[in-house]
Amino acid sequence: MAFTIAIDGPAAAGKGTIGRALAAHFGFAHLDTGLLYRATGRKMLQGLDPVAAARSLRAEDLLADDLRSSEVGQAASRVAAIPEVRQALLDFQRAFARRTGGAVLDGRDIGTVICPEAEVKFFVTASDAERARRRHLELSEKDPRLTLKEVVEDLRQRDARDSARATAPLRPAKDALLLDTSEMTIEEAVATAVAEVEGRRGA
């Protein structure tokens, strides 16, 4: 049986962490849809046409070790505003969402466009300062020279671009549960999400 958990929200709000934990808890498959846009953006940086790149993405493209960098993130948000790129990635995401055995997808448009019929939808947020702090902590392990100011600017630009685009802009689905993780530990955020899903599964 299909059961879909959709997780959307701005950059670095904790969607991936919560998504992975929910998938592990319920034994569902997990797809970080940001990786599809990051892999496409990375190919654009290498000189490929973004639409052609999105149409020819392969599983191994999602394993490149620089996908999480700010530079690739910026490229991702630029290609993500191109309707043909989104269209090229649509069928894969929809099929993943409705696979047998349950699925968790995190991104920007999962509850609104990819899977409006998802059984549970979360819109995960956190304050700008907290999101920047977390992402800086994560990225500075690989890039010790990266400043907090650069991370703040990266998140601000991507959120603005992702919210303003005409196709599948970042916004909560009407029936999404808002989860503000600013003051929560990872454990608290995951426990809140698990309890919500359990409630809906029993319903």
Supply the minimum distance, in Å, between the C-beta of residue 131 and ligand CDP.
9
Closer residue to ligand CDP in complex, CB, 50/107: 107
CA distance 86 to 79: 8
Query: By C-beta, is 109 or 130 nearer to ligand CDP?
Result: 109
User: Residue 180 pairs with which residues in a beta bridge?
Assistant: 125
Buried b (16+ CB within 10 A) or exposed e, 149-187: eebbebbeebbebbeebeebebebbeebbebebeebeee
Q: Give the shortest CB-199-to-ligand CDP separation in angstroms.
A: 25
Provide the minimum distance between the beta carbon of 94 and ligand CDP in the complex, in angstroms, as a whole number.
12
Q: Which residues contact 49 (CB under 8 A, 6 or more apart)?
A: none
> What's the closest the beta carbon of residue 194 comes to ligand CDP, in angstroms?
21
Nearer to ligand CDP, 24 or 160 (CB): 160
Identify the residue whose tokens are 């970042």: 170
Of the pair 31, 198, the CB lying nearest ligand CDP is at 31
Residues forming contacts to ligand CDP in the complex (CB under 6 A) are 11-12, 16, 33-34, 37-38, 73, 76-77, 80, 107-109, 158, 162
Q: Calculate the dihedral angle through the C-alpha atoms of 111, 116, 121, 126, rounding to the nearest 10 degrees.
A: 20
Least Cβ distance, residue 58 to ligand CDP (angstroms): 18
Q: How far are the Cα atoms of 6, 25, 92, 93 from residue 113, in angstroms, in the given order?
A: 10, 25, 13, 10
Nearer to ligand CDP, 174 or 203 (CB): 174
* Smallest gap from residue 35 Cβ to ligand CDP (A): 6
Residue number with CB closer to ligand CDP (53 or 80): 80
> In this structure, what token pair is assigned to residue 115?
């899977």
Name the CA radius of gyration of the chain, rounded: 16
